[in-house]
Structure 1
């Protein structure tokens, strides 16, 4: 006889594991916030306790007031827009040029042999060392600053793209070729996805380099930009404004990095997330 008795379903309670995961995620978020709070607390107390000269390092609250004032009167937006337009233009052109060139050099040996010596020559030349050359050739306007950002951003992307393409697992390539994939599909389905993490490492390095180089260029010759804001504030002894400009640069760098990480995750959805 067939037993038609309905047996109760046993449900496994996973709430403890979920709560542990929730606590782990919360702690990962709280830890950096604690570190930032400690840093800002030390910044606030050190001048007030006389550990450092308050004239040269104002308390964080004073710098925050200056930061808000620069936002309200529009000065910060003006300088931020000038810096972002230069940085994003040079950075975008570097991505468009460096990634295809890096793929060609990494995949085709004749291209690598032809361009290798000139790349070795220029990659060991610091971008800031060429700043006077860019100014002499391109002038003191926007073109020289964008060209400098392009130069500083191109090499990290280029070198990491070459490395990413060359370190693709040969077994993956052989398997794809054995399945009859044409060259274009091989790049699209195998080589580029495998090289994406290394390429984005170069893009993140290039983003940081582009901001640092641009700020240095704006300190030398510019009438607007965050670098100009810092230098002008220092010369006019507006020390809180100077630190406000430095904070703005830090926030721009964090935003750049966050956007790039989000884009990398979008292109690396096939990878297991930690």
Structure 2
């Protein structure tokens, strides 16, 4: 464990050293890729003035709202489709149609229908996050070991108890795979949505800094997004472990 942490830290330190060194040696143009220390200075200035916190709060509110709505709708629907085969057969053509339609391709549609306000941004995040959760939930239910199901039925479990005691626990790892994918999508899609008609948010900050050639601010916002995505994923991994305590390690 300690060795793995050391390797991960060493890779980050090496990346930081390369980022700092190459612009100062002139290997890359420092106008377009400033040294890391200058970016971190800009990041601190944005934090000190409160701008970074304001933009981060705006982004997190949109991202978490769409993400939470996707979990609340996609997991129950995925469990129902995965468990009830006739419903799956009925909805499968529609699912196949929309699962292959990129969320960002529909962004103009969401903006056209819902406007440039918060509703369209939350809605596009909801749409993007729903698919990995829904599809992984369906797969998790369908791929439960048939021997487990047969054993449970031989012990006299009815359908409701079978679903509660066998299907749900066995499907949890696959469901959380979809949730973690959706967590990444909630950040990625949000940034693109915030570049269209937003007045706050990290995506807006990146676009504004790029248009005004404030390159260090742009990289500072990008670093913030990367850190948020990492923390988001780590939080979901911990949550998965709590819901999967029955699994052997």
- With normalisation by structure 2, the TM-score equals 0.99
**Counterpart residue number, 2:60:** 84
Query: Which residue number in structure 1 is paired with residue 122 of structure 2?
Result: 146
Tell me the distance in 2 between the aligned counterparts of 1:161 and 1:182. 22
Partner of 2:141: 165
**Residue 61, structure 1, aligned to residue 61, structure 2:** no
1:250 aligns to what? 226
Partner of 1:29: 5
Shift of 1:183: 2.1
What residue number does 1:8 align with? none
Select 1:190's aligned residue among 166, 174, 190: 166
Shift of 1:28: 1.0
Alpha-carbon distance in 2 for matches of 1:65, 1:122: 44
Question: Could you say which residue in structure 1 is the equivalent of 2:50?
Answer: 74
TM-score (norm 1): 0.90
Separation in 1, partners of 2:21, 2:236: 35
Structure 1 residue 176, shift from structure 2 partner: 1.1
Number of residues of Structure 1 aligned to a counterpart in Structure 2: 249
Secondary structure at 1:173's aligned position in 2? helix
Gaps of 5+ in 2: none
Equivalent-residue separation in structure 1 for 2:5 and 2:164 (angstroms): 36
2:93 is aligned to 117
Q: CA deviation at 1:42?
A: 0.2
Q: Which residue of 2 aligns with 1:44?
A: 20
Aligned mate of 2:212, from 232, 236, 240? 236
1:235, CA displacement in angstroms? Answer: 0.9
In structure 1, the residue corresponding to 2:246 is in which secondary structure?
coil
Residues in 1 aligned to 2:248 and 2:23: alpha-carbon distance in whole angstroms? 47
Are 2:74 and 1:98 aligned?
Answer: yes
Q: Give the unaligned 5+ runs of structure 1.
A: 1-24
- Distance in structure 1 (CA, Å) of the matches to 2:55 and 2:2: 36
CA distance in 1, matches of 2:118, 2:35: 35
Matching residue of 1:175: 151
SS at match of 2:247: coil
- Residue 220 of structure 1: how far off its partner (Å): 1.7
SS at match of 1:224: coil
Q: 2:105 aligns with which of 114, 129, 135?
A: 129
Post-superposition shift, 1:184? 2.2
CA deviations over 1:177-217 (Å, ceiling 9, x no partner)? 12122222212211011111111111111111111011001
